């Protein structure tokens, strides 16, 4: 059962989620009110660019559309788009922060 930690950002506290069946990360973000910004939700704008600090292998590989935008964004290793990333089912721990969040 993957556990997901969304790091605290600014005044927003950290959030936790359990994702026993895996699924779309955007839905998890919406359910726990994670501090991940969204705009287009369709791999067009890059607003939801995140860094996977732990557990990158617990995600399905990026789609072609996500991979194309990630190439343009030129982010850190293990960066993804929160609106596109899918969590695999199974055990593990995932830790996430927005790429453009201030360092704590
Ligand atoms: S919200 Fe625009 S790329 Fe994810």
Q: Is the CB of 99 under 6 A from ligand 1?
A: no
3-class secondary structure, 36: coil
Model confidence pLDDT, tens digit, residues 48-65: 999 999 999 999 999 999
**Is CATH 3.10.20.30 what the domain over 2-98 is classified as, yes or no?**
yes
Which pLDDT band holds residue 1 (cuts at 50, 70, 90)? low
Atom of ligand 1 nearest to the CA of 41: 1
Does the structure show a pLDDT above 70 at 103? no
- How far away, in angstroms, is 44 Cα from ligand 1 center? 6
User: In 10 A of CB 99, how many CB atoms?
Assistant: 14
By residue count, the chain amounts to 104
Q: Give one word for 23, left, alpha or beta, with left for phi > 0 and alpha for psi -120 to 50.
A: left
Helices (H), 1-95: 25-32, 64-73
Q: Is the CB of 65 under 6 A from ligand 1?
A: no
- How far away, in angstroms, is 75 Cα from ligand 1 center? 14
Does the structure show a pLDDT above 70 at 3? yes
Q: Are 80 and 66 in contact (CB under 8 A)?
A: yes
Distance of CA 67 to the CA centre of its chain: 14
- How far away, in angstroms, is 8 Cα from ligand 1 center? 20
The whole-angstrom separation of Cα 48 and Cα 6 is 13
Model confidence pLDDT, tens digit, residues 17-59: 999 899 999 999 999 999 999 999 999 999 999 999 999 999 9
- What is this structure's pTM? 0.93
Q: Is the CB of 44 under 6 A from ligand 1?
A: yes
């Amino acid at each position: 059962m993957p556990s997901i930690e969304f790091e605290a950002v600014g005044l927003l506290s950290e959030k936790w989620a359990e994702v026993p069946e895996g699924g779309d990360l955007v839905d998890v973000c919406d359910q726990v009110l994670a501090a991940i910004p969204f705009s287009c939700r369709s791999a067009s704008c890059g607003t939801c660019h995140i860094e996977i600090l732990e557990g990158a292998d617990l995600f399905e590989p990026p789609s072609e559309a996500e991979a194309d935008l990630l190439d343009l964004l030129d982010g850190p290793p293990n960066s993804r788009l929160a609106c596109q990333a899918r969590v695999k089912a199974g055990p593990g721990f995932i830790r996430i922060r927005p790429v453009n969040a201030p360092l704590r």
